[in-house]
Structure 1
Amino acid sequence: MKFSGLLRFSILLKLALGLSIIVVGYLTTKFYFQIRELSTSVKSIENSNAVRYELEQIASAINKNESALRSFIITRDSLYLRNQDLDNDAFDLRISRLHRLSLTNPEFKSGLDSLKWFVNKRHLVFDNTLKTLSEKDYNDNYLKNNLLKSFIYTDNLQEYINKLINTQQYKIGKQEQFHSKKIEESSWNAGILGILSLTVFLLAYLKMNRDIAEQLKNTKKLKIQNRKLIEINAELESFNSIVSHDMQEPLRKIQMFISRLDENETRHLSDQGKDYFSRIRVSANRMQNLMVDLVSYSRAAKGDRSFVEIDMNLLLKAVVEELAVDIEDKKAVIEWAELPVMHAVPFQMQQLFLNLLSNSLKYAKDNIAPQIKISNEIISGDTFKDGKSINPEKFNKIVVSDNGIGFRQEYAENIFVLFRRLDTESNYTGTGIGLAICKKIVENHNGFIRAFGSENHGAAFHIYLPK
C-alpha cells in the first residue's frame, strides 16, 4: 500500500508539473504577443502625436503669415515679410515630415494629399496678393478679391487642419484606451505567470528532491548489492580454486587407482564387473572434463580484459599444434586463409578456436576424415543483429566450417545454452559447456556468433568481431 501511494503521488506530481508547464508556456506566448501589441500601440501613439504636432506647427505658421500679410498691407513695411522665404521652406519641411509619418499611418495618407492641395492654393493666393501690391497702379477690386480668397483659403485650411488634428486626437484617445487595457491584461498575465512559474519551480523542486532521495536510496541499495556481488565473486573464486585444485586432486587419485586396477585386476572380474569398471572410468573422465570446462566458462564469464594486438594466424597455428594428437588420430585436414590482426584477449581467442576445432574433431563422421576450414569472409549487407543491419566496415567475419555430423537448424540457438546437449550427441562425449564458452568469449569482445548446420552435412560457425 505504501508503494502504491508513493507511485500515485509521483504520477500526480508529474501530471501537475506537466500541466503547469503547458499553462506557463501558453501564458508566456500570450504575454509575448501582448507586449508586441503594446509596442505597436506605443509607436502608433507616437506617430499620431508627431502628426498632430506637425499640423499644429503648420496652422501656427499660416496664422503668422496671415498676420504678416495684413500688417504689410496696412503699414507697407517690408520688414513684416522679411522671413517669407524661411517660412516657405519650413512649410515644405513639415509637409515632408508628414509624408514620412503617413507611411506608418495609412488613415492620414489621403488627408495629407488634401492638405498639400490647400497649402499650395494658399501659397498661390498669398504670392498673387504680394505681386499685386508690388505694382504701382494696381486694381483695388482685384486686390480685395485676392485678399478675400486668401482669407477664405486660410479659414478653410485652418478648419481642415483642425479636422485632421481632431482625427489624430481621437485616434490617440482610442490607442490610449487600448494601451491601458493591454497594460492591465499584461499585468494580470505577468502576475499569473509569476505565480505559475513559482508553482512549476516548487513542483520541480519537489520532484527533484524526491528523485534525489530515491537516487540516494537506490545508491545505497546498489552499494549493498555491490558488496554482495563482491562476496559472491570471492565465493566463486574460492569455488574455482576448489574445482581447479582441491576437487581435481582426489579425482586424479581415483583415475590413478582405476588405471592400476585396469592393469592388474580387471582380468579377475566377471564380464558384468568389467562393464561396471568401464563405466566408472568413463564417469571419472567425464567429471574431470566437466570441472575443466566449468573453470574455463567461469574465466570467460569473468572476462579478462587485457586486450592486445593479435596475429590470428599465429594464434590459430598454436591451437592446431595443441590439437596435433587428435588431428593425427582422426586424420583431419585443417585449412585456413589469411586471417586479420585483431585487438583481442589472447587467452580467450585461443580458447574460442580451441573449442570450435575440438567440436569439429569430436563430431566427425565415422570413417570419414574431418575437413575443417577457417576463412575470413566479406560481410553481406543483409546481416542483422538485434533487428539492425551491421556495418560491414566495422566488423570482421571469420567462418569455421566442417563436414561432420552437423545438426538441425532449429537447434542453432540451443547449442549455445549452458549444459544443453542435442539428442544427436548421445553417442558423443561432452559437457555441453564448450559452445557456451565460445558465445561468452565473443560477447566479451562486443561481437556475436551464429551457427548454421544440416544434419549429416556438417556445421558452420560465423563469428563477427569488431575491427
Structure 2
Amino acid sequence: MGGFAYQHVQKLTKSFEMVEHTYEVNVELEQILSYLKDAETGQRGYLISKDTLFLEPYYSSREKTNNSFARLKELTKNDKTQQNSLKNLSFLIAENLSIFDKSFKYANKNGTNTADFYALLNNGKNTMDSIRAKISKMIAHQNQLLQVRKKKSNESLTNTPLVIYSVLIITLVILLLTYAKINKDLKNLKKKNIQLEIFKESTNQSEIVSKHGNWTYYINEDKFEYSNNLYRLLGEQPQSFDPTIENFMKFVHPEDAENLQKQVNRMIKEENLPFIYYRIIQKNGNIKHFKAYGKMIVSEDNQKRLLGITSDITEEVKNYKLLEERNLELERNNKELSSFNHVASHDLQEPLRKIQTFISRLDHKEANNLSEKGKLYLERIKIAASRMRLLIDDLLQFSRTNKSEEVLEVTNMNLILENAKQELAETILEKEATITSDAIPEMTVIPFQIQQLFINLIGNSLKYSKQNVKPIIEISYSKINTDDVSKLKKPKYSNYHKLTFVDNGIGFDQEYAEKIFVLFSRLHNKNEYSGTGIGLSICKKIIDNHQGYIFAEGKLNKGATFEVFLPFK
C-alpha cells in the first residue's frame, strides 16, 4: 500500500514537472525572440549613430541566443515536432544574423542611402517576421501541451487525496484483518497449549497407572532424557540424578548388568533396541522386572533420536509364574481326568456289567421265588443300573467331545444325517416317526462330532414326543448373512450355514431355553423321561468347537425348534 501511494505521488510530481517544463520551453522561446530584438535594435542604433556602443547589446544578444537555443534543444529532445521546428528556427536565425553582418559591412563601405542597403534591411525584416511566426507557432504548440499537462496534473491532484485515503482505508482494513487473524491464531495457540498440557498430564498419569517410563536418546548429541516416572520406577524422585547410562546401570541387578550393557552398546552402535528384559534393585532392596524397547526417529533437520519405553513387568512375571503353576496343576487334573475316563470306560463298566448280568440271571431264574417287595426291589435295581450305565456313557461322550481330538474336513452332511438316523433306526421304527430334511451342502466340520450332534438333536425330539402322537421332525437348511440375524453376538464370519430342527413334541417353556444346554440340567422328572441331562450339553460343546451358535425355542405341548449356525468356510 505504501509503495502504491509512493508511485501515485511520483506520478503527481512528474505531472508538475511536465507543466514546469512547458513553461521553461516557452520562456526560452520568448527569450530568443527578445535577444534577436535586442540585436536588431543595436544594429539600427549603430547604423543611425555610427556609435559602437550600440554594438554591445548586438554581440551579447548573439551569445545569449546561442545559449537559449542550446537549452531549447535539451528541453525538447523528446518532442520531434519541436525538434523539427528548432532546425528551421536555427536556419532562420543564422540567416538573420548573416543579414545583420552584411548590413554592417555595406553601410561602412557604401553608406545607408542606397537601394541595395534598403534591400538588405527589407530581407532582414522578412527574416525576422519568419522568426516571430516560427516562435509563435512553437509557443502555440507548447501551450497545447501545457493545457493537456495541466489537465492531467489537476486530475492527479484531485485524485491524490482519494487515492491516499483509499490506501489508508485498505491498509487499516488489512491491519484489522491481520489483528483478527493473529488474535484467532493466539486463541488457537492457547487452546493447543491447554490441550498439550492436558495431554502431558494425562501421559504422566498413564505412565504412573501403566507402570512405564519414557526415555529419549539423542544420537547426534550422545545424551539421554528420562521421564519423571522412569525415576519413580527406579524408586527415586523425578530428576534426582543425571540421565546417563552410568547412573542407570547402578540400579541394574548384578546378574543382568553385563547382558544389559552389551544390549546398550549394541543399541548405540546399531541405533536400534529390540525388546530386552532385565531386573533392577531399588535402594530399599525391592527387585523389579523391567522390559525396554526403542525405535529410531529421524526429524526433518536430520536429527536422530531413539524413543524408548521401559515398563515395570514385575506383576506380569508374577502372574506368569502363577499361570505356569496353574497350568501344571491343570495338566495334573487333565491326567487325573484321563485316568477317570479310563476307569469309567473300563474299571467301572466291568463291575457294572457283572451287576447287570447277575440281575438278569436273578430276574430270569429266581424271580418266582421272590416276594412282591423283592420283585419291586429287583426292578428298581435294574432301572438304577441302566441309568448308571447310560450316565457313564454320556459322561464319556461329553469328555471326548473335544475339538483338538478331531480335524476339520469337507464332509457330505447328507451322509452324516443318514448315519445318524441309522443309529436311531430302532427308536424311529418303534415310535413310527417321520423325518424330512432339505438337501444339505458339503461343510467343513468334524464329521464324528456333527454325527453325534444330529443323533442327540433327533434323539431328543424322539424322547420328548407326545404319547399316542407320531413324532414328526423337519430339518431345513439355509445360508444366512450375519447382518440379517440379530441374535448372533460378535460373529467371526460374515456368512453361516443354518440348520433348523422342528418337532411336534411336548416342547418346553421358553424361559428354560438356555438352561437346557447346561450340563446335568433336566426339565422333567427322571421317572417321566429317561435321560441324564448331558445330551444337549454335548450339542452345545460340539457347536462351540466349530465356532458356531445353537439356539432353542419351545412352546409347551406345541413342540420345540433348535437352530444350529455353522460357519460358512
Structure 2 length-normalised TM: 0.53
User: Secondary structure in 2 aligned to 1:306?
Assistant: coil
Q: Distance in 2 between matches of 1:465 and 1:177?
A: 71
| Residue identity in the other structure for 1:82 | K
Q: Write out aligned runs for 1:165-204 (5 A).
A: 166-167=164-165, 170-171=168-169, 174=172, 192=190, 196=194, 199-204=197-202
Contact 1:255 1:281 in 2 (8 A): no
Query: Residue 246 of structure 1 corresponds to which residue in structure 2?
Result: 343
- 2:8 corresponds to 1:55: yes
Greater share of helix residues, 1 or 2?
1
| Residue identity in the other structure for 2:380 | R
Deviation of the 1:295 alpha carbon: 3.9
- 2:250 corresponds to 1:255: no
Residues 53, 135 of structure 1: alpha-carbon distance in 2 compared, 3 angstrom cutoff: farther
Contact 2:438 2:477 in 1 (8 A): yes
Q: Write out aligned runs for 1:196-275 (5 A).
A: 196=194, 199-210=197-208, 212-213=210-211, 216=313, 219=316, 223=320, 226-227=323-324, 230-231=327-328, 233-265=330-362, 267=366, 269-275=370-376
Residues 224, 381 of structure 1: alpha-carbon distance in 2 compared, 3 angstrom cutoff: closer
Q: 1:414 aligns with which of 515, 523, 529?
A: 515
Q: Write out aligned runs for 1:421-436 (5 A).
A: 421-423=522-524, 426-436=527-537
Q: Distance in 2 between matches of 1:297 and 1:134?
A: 139
| Residue identity in the other structure for 1:292 | D
Query: Residue 487 of structure 2 corresponds to which residue in structure 1?
Result: 386
Contact 2:25 2:142 in 1 (8 A): no
CA shift digits 1:224-277 (9 cap, x unpaired): 675466346425523431332123434223323313422444525544344334
| Residue identity in the other structure for 1:427 | E
Residues 196, 377 of structure 1: alpha-carbon distance in 2 compared, 3 angstrom cutoff: closer
CA shift digits 1:204-237 (9 cap, x unpaired): 4314423542895775576467546634642552
Query: Residue 65 of structure 1 corresponds to which residue in structure 2?
Result: 18
Deviation of the 1:355 alpha carbon: 0.8
Q: Distance in 1 between matches of 2:79 and 2:453?
A: 110
Q: Distance in 2 between matches of 1:314 and 1:287?
A: 32
Deviation of the 1:424 alpha carbon: 6.1
Q: Write out aligned runs for 1:231-380 (5 A).
A: 231=328, 233-265=330-362, 267=366, 269-300=370-401, 306-366=407-467, 370-377=471-478
CA shift digits 1:5-57 (9 cap, x unpaired): xxxxxxxxxxxxxxxxxxxxxxxxxxxxxxxxxxxxxxxxxxx1232132023
Contact 2:552 2:562 in 1 (8 A): yes
User: Secondary structure in 1 aligned to 2:459?
Assistant: helix
Q: Distance in 2 between matches of 1:265 and 1:179?
A: 112
| Residue identity in the other structure for 1:254 | P
Residues 148, 64 of structure 1: alpha-carbon distance in 2 compared, 3 angstrom cutoff: closer
Residues 438, 51 of structure 1: alpha-carbon distance in 2 compared, 3 angstrom cutoff: same
Query: Residue 75 of structure 2 corresponds to which residue in structure 1?
Result: 80
Residues 370, 60 of structure 1: alpha-carbon distance in 2 compared, 3 angstrom cutoff: same
| Residue identity in the other structure for 1:243 | F
User: Secondary structure in 2 aligned to 1:385?
Assistant: coil
Residues 280, 186 of structure 1: alpha-carbon distance in 2 compared, 3 angstrom cutoff: same
Deviation of the 1:434 alpha carbon: 0.9
Q: Distance in 1 between matches of 2:556 and 2:171?
A: 97
Return the index of the structure with the highest Cα Rg.
2
| Residue identity in the other structure for 2:4 | V
Contact 1:381 1:389 in 2 (8 A): no
Gaps of 5+ in 1: 1-47, 86-132
Q: Distance in 1 between matches of 2:15 and 2:481?
A: 93
Residues 375, 205 of structure 1: alpha-carbon distance in 2 compared, 3 angstrom cutoff: closer
Deviation of the 1:400 alpha carbon: 2.5
Residues 182, 321 of structure 1: alpha-carbon distance in 2 compared, 3 angstrom cutoff: closer
Gaps of 5+ in 2: 30-71, 81-130, 213-310
Q: Distance in 2 between matches of 1:185 and 1:413?
A: 64
State how many pairs are aligned. Answer: 372
| Greater shift in the superposed pair: 441-450 or 306-315 | 441-450
Greater share of strand residues, 1 or 2?
2
Residues 232, 313 of structure 1: alpha-carbon distance in 2 compared, 3 angstrom cutoff: farther
User: Secondary structure in 1 aligned to 2:348?
Assistant: helix
User: Secondary structure in 2 aligned to 1:415?
Assistant: helix
Contact 2:407 2:446 in 1 (8 A): yes
| Residue identity in the other structure for 2:76 | L
Query: Residue 161 of structure 2 corresponds to which residue in structure 1?
Result: 163
Contact 2:12 2:153 in 1 (8 A): no
Q: Distance in 1 between matches of 2:549 and 2:457?
A: 15
| Greater shift in the superposed pair: 442-451 or 335-344 | 442-451
Residues 150, 134 of structure 1: alpha-carbon distance in 2 compared, 3 angstrom cutoff: farther
Residues 174, 363 of structure 1: alpha-carbon distance in 2 compared, 3 angstrom cutoff: closer
Residues 158, 184 of structure 1: alpha-carbon distance in 2 compared, 3 angstrom cutoff: same
Contact 1:420 1:432 in 2 (8 A): yes
Deviation of the 1:312 alpha carbon: 0.3
Q: Distance in 1 between matches of 2:341 and 2:424?
A: 22
User: Secondary structure in 1 aligned to 2:475?
Assistant: strand
Query: Residue 450 of structure 1 corresponds to which residue in structure 2?
Result: 551
Q: Distance in 1 between matches of 2:564 and 2:456?
A: 13
| Greater shift in the superposed pair: 371-380 or 348-357 | 371-380
User: Secondary structure in 2 aligned to 1:406?
Assistant: coil
Contact 2:474 2:503 in 1 (8 A): yes
Residues 74, 430 of structure 1: alpha-carbon distance in 2 compared, 3 angstrom cutoff: same
Q: Which has the higher contact order (CA 8 A, sep 6+)?
A: 1
